[in-house]
């Protein structure tokens, strides 16, 4: 009897024991995991791009406000606005390209872009110069 039960136990273990079958992942299980990761990445990447675009837009607005402060400081010392950003001692965010379109003794207008946020453009004007699209209200940054 003892011999029979040992033989039965040996047959159960050697005939595909659970330990041998679960030693690794099957190809189907790995493929399912890869597909799920791909779906999650396809959802997350566009959301990340939108967030980056909003961050670039915020940088454009901030740099135009800094330009406004620099123009007013320059006007206080020189009684005119400057068309040269180097004279304004302007600190810019990385990648932001400010362009002063018009600068006179009575006003100025400027726009700013970022290569990664193209075609987004922000603009600002102050004084008696004509409005620069997309800005429509003097002293307020407008973006498109």
59-73 pLDDT, tens digit each: 999 999 999 999 999
Residue 99 to residue 80: CA distance in whole angstroms? 17
**Reported confidence tier of residue 47, pLDDT bands at 50, 70, 90:** confident
The ranges assigned to domains in the chain are 25-143
Comparing 36 with 3, the larger pLDDT belongs to 36
Q: Is residue 6's pLDDT more than 80?
A: no
Residue 91 to residue 111: CA distance in whole angstroms? 15
Specify the pLDDT at position 19: 54
Specify the pLDDT at position 21: 58
Specify the pLDDT at position 120: 86
Q: Are 38 and 121 in contact (CB under 8 A)?
A: no
Provide the edge-to-edge strand list for the sheet that holds 142-143: 97-103, 107-113, 121-127, 142-143
């Amino acid at each position: 009897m003892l011999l029979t039960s040992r033989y039965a136990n040996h047959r159960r273990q050697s005939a595909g024991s659970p330990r041998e079958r679960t030693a690794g992942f099957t190809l189907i299980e790995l493929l399912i995991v890869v597909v799920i990761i791909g779906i999650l990445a396809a959802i997350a990447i566009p959301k990340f791009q939108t967030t980056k675009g909003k961050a670039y837009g915020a940088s454009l607005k901030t740099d135009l406000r800094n330009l406004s402060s620099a123009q007013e400081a320059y006007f206080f010392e020189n009684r005119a606005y400057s068309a040269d950003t180097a004279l304004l001692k302007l600190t810019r965010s990385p990648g932001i390209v400010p362009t002063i379109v018009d600068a006179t003794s009575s006003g100025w207008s400027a726009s700013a872009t970022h290569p990664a946020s193209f075609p987004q453009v922000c603009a600002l004007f102050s004084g008696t110069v004509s409005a620069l699209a997309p800005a429509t209200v003097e002293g307020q940054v407008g973006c498109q």
